[in-house]
Amino acid sequence: MKLVVGAVALVLAVQALAFTQLERELVLTVTGAALVVALLALRRRLVPDRDAEEEDLGDEAEAALRRWRGRTETLISWAESSRADWDRRLRPMLARQFELAGGHRKVKDPNVYQLTGRMVFGDELWQWVDPQNISRTGGREPGPGREVLHDILVRLAKL
């Protein structure tokens, strides 16, 4: 509202100035210029700035990408550290993803769960997903590494 009142006041002031100067030929031109300035100011205030919206979307996408990259680097570091880190952090996550993707709950039928896990991952990879295969001395054993994590994630993605 203040902008509209200011624009009307500007146009009236410009017209009064043009009339007092006795330059009647300029009244229309000067009034038109004042009106254009007022309308541009009004448009700028009413129309949202597209660059700011695009910048916000870019910032959100960039932040999401940074979070994803941070999580991925953390997963890889856990895979390459000790077996205790694998058992504590990655194994529960992978087992949960397997249950969700495969539709077989360990609680319903443990035998079907084990057989499905061996079919999907094979014996070598299943030992790293199986939630029952936790090592009690894992703090001293090395983790399986990045390649095993990659192979497991690829097989999960195929489900």
pLDDT of residue 52: 60
For the segment 10-38, the average pLDDT, to the nearest whole number, is 75
| Statement: residue 22 has pLDDT above 70 | no
Q: Where do the domains of the chain lie? A: 2-46, 81-158
**pLDDT given for residue 46 in this prediction:** 79
Name which residue leads in pLDDT, 158 or 1: 158
19 alpha carbon, distance to own chain's centre: 60
Structure tokens at 112: 């079907």
Contacts of 146 (CB under 8 A, 6+ apart): 76, 79, 80
> By mean pLDDT, which of 35-44, 52-61, 71-80 is the weakest?
52-61
The H-or-E segment that residue 125 falls in is helix 110-129
